[in-house]
Amino acid sequence: MRREAALSAAVIAVIFTAPGRLPAVAQGAAAPSAGVAPIAPALLAVKVVEENGVPGVPQALTEKPGDPQAGAKVAVDRRLGNCLGCHQISALGNEQFHGEVGPSLDGAATRWTVPQLRMIVVDPKKIFSDETVMPSFYRVGGPGRVRPEFQGKPILTAQQVEDLVAFLAAQK
Amino acid sequence: MWCGGAIAQDALEHPDWQGKGFAPNVPDHPLREIISGLAFRTHETKAMQSDDFNNPGFLAVEEGAALWSKVDGAAGKSCASCHQEAVQSMKGVRASMPKWDEKQKKPVNLEQRINICRSENMKAEPWKFGSPELTAMTTYVGHQSRGTPVSVRTDGPMKPWFDRGRQLFYDRVGQLDMSCANCHEKNYGKFLRADFVSQGQTNGFPTYRLQTQRLVPLHERFQGCMFDVRADPYKPLSDEFLALELYIAWRGLGLPVETPAVRN
């Protein structure tokens, strides 16, 4: 039940500006002992647009369109999305060990629009609640005590997010 | 993946943990049912733990027994010089740890208590955290409480430590932004990629881990879980882990000590 998107859509936040130096306090962790603030990688600006009360990210994070097959790999890889750690995904039925912590992602594209799917991957707290256990995959800052090698970095790159979104958009 | 790792055998069998616990008998307890981590393991793992001849953790119990009566340090004493038979003198000790120490003005856990005895009463070097000696002695002393219900005190001077521990349990940390509670309160019993998550109870420690094939002390487990959510873990025997150990022991009040437990 989407009304004229252009009218109801309100830009509610630009959560990342890029590229730049991230203040160490944003990590909530103790400042690195060497006294050098970590340099944030080129995090792209993510523009959150609310549509009928549901936030979404309508703009793709990369110019190169997402590749659903690459997205499937990101969903499986334990060092990347590890989505399968928590979700069941029938399209990845040849993989073992589908987690039970989150709901099945079968038919996700029938429940969410592409901007909403992108929002869920980028920062699910914006869609569900701050209480969700699902990690924010393209957000920097927030939690404390981030291990030094991950400080100032999102879990996934912009391209990996787009690949995942393409994969999710195919789950009908 | 995060905490655990692939143990294929557990993936094949949904554990029958429901109804295997008991209702907490303190008000405002966060869990409806208190359940040992054992209930979330396979029949095979349970059988291994319950058979002392097959439980690999007993190697450490034997090593600890030998160290118990071994003279060490400038005072020319062994543990047995002061405590005689561990079977009697150490019964129930593990179940009440961490405990307030009036001299240190802070709670101490079993590892720390053992090292206090070494440096003060034996005039011996304290054992390093994670050393085979300290883990074996912790296992041997802990084993003397097997079956005793966990019964830590959280009042008086322990109260601020308890509160700090609770805060740490709910703190979201690491790049994955997760708390202990995210896994061990919200999602126990569920399959998380390669493992069934338990309540993160402490009654089995040190536990023999099939994955690493050795006994793992509690604070190493804490570190592992933090590391896996890409957090910078606190140090073993730090005030933070002491507080966390106290708080989680309270979450498991009444669970029987299982040392040495067998886990993934």
Residue A34 sits at the chain B interface (C-beta within 8 Å)? no
| φ/ψ of residue B137, rounded to 5 | -65, -40
**DSSP letters of B101-154?**
ETTTTEEE-HHHHHHHIIIIIS--PPPPTT-HHHHHHHHHHHHTTBTPBP----
Q: Give which of A147, A149, A156 to mutate to test B binding, by max B Cβ within 10 Å.
A: A147
Q: For domain A49-169, which CATH number applies: 3.30.390.10, 1.10.3720.10, 2.60.40.420, 1.10.760.10?
A: 1.10.760.10
Q: Are B192 and A86 in contact (CB under 8 A)?
A: yes
Q: What residues of B are labeled active site?
A: 225
pLDDT for B184-239, tens place per residue? Answer: 999 999 999 788 999 999 999 999 999 999 999 999 999 999 999 999 999 999 99
**Residue B245 domain boundaries:** 31-264
Cβ <8 Å between B174 and A145: yes
Which H helix or E strand runs over A48? strand A46-51
Q: Give which of B2, B9, B14, B175 to mutate to test A binding, by max A Cβ within 10 Å.
A: B175
Cβ <8 Å between B191 and A143: no
Cβ <8 Å between A146 and B227: no
d(CA B42, CA B46): 6
pLDDT for A141-171, tens place per residue? Answer: 778 899 999 998 999 999 999 999 999 999 9
How high is the mean pLDDT of chain B? 94
Q: How far is B230 from chain A (nearest CA, A)?
A: 6
Strands (DSSP E) contained in B14-134 are 99-101, 106-108
Q: Is residue B21 part of a domain?
A: no
Q: Is residue B10 part of a domain?
A: no
Q: Domain spans of chain A? A: 49-169
Q: Is residue B1 part of a domain?
A: no
d(CA A139, CA A120): 11
Q: How far is A3 from chain B (nearest CA, A)?
A: 35
pLDDT above 60: residue A8 = no
Cβ <8 Å between B231 and A78: no
Residue A103 sits at the chain B interface (C-beta within 8 Å)? no
Q: How many domains does chain B have?
A: 1
Higher pLDDT, B8 or B180: B180
pLDDT band at A39 (very low <50, low <70, confident <90, very high): very low
The pLDDT, as a whole number, for residue A81 is 95
d(CA B80, CA B69): 5
The pLDDT, as a whole number, for residue A96 is 84
| Partner residue opposite B192 with nearest CB, options A29, A86, A135 | A86
Please list every residue in chain B whose beta carbon sits closer than 8 Å to the beta carbon of residue A150: 174-175, 230
Residue of B129, B95, B125, B93 lying closest to B111 (CA atoms) = B129
Residue A36 sits at the chain B interface (C-beta within 8 Å)? no
| φ/ψ of residue B104, rounded to 5 | -80, -15
Q: Is residue B19 part of a domain?
A: no
The pLDDT, as a whole number, for residue B10 is 46
Cβ <8 Å between B192 and A96: no
Q: What is the CATH number of the domain that holds B196?
A: 1.10.760.10
The pLDDT, as a whole number, for residue B12 is 59
Please list every residue in chain A whose beta carbon sits closer than 8 Å to the beta carbon of residue B227: 147
pLDDT above 70: residue A18 = no
Cβ <8 Å between B174 and A142: no
d(CA A104, CA B250): 35
Which value, in Å, is the radius of gyration of the alpha carbons in chain B?
Answer: 18
Q: Give which of B40, B170, B177 to mutate to test A binding, by max A Cβ within 10 Å.
A: B177
pLDDT above 90: residue A94 = no
d(CA A122, CA B132): 44
Q: Is residue B98 part of a domain?
A: yes
Residue B115, Ramachandran bin (φ over 0: left; ψ between -120 and 50: alpha; else beta): alpha
| Partner residue opposite B231 with nearest CB, options A84, A147, A155 | A147
pLDDT for A22-32, tens place per residue? Answer: 333 333 333 33
Cβ <8 Å between A155 and B176: yes
pLDDT for A47-86, tens place per residue? Answer: 999 999 999 999 999 999 999 999 999 999 999 999 999 9
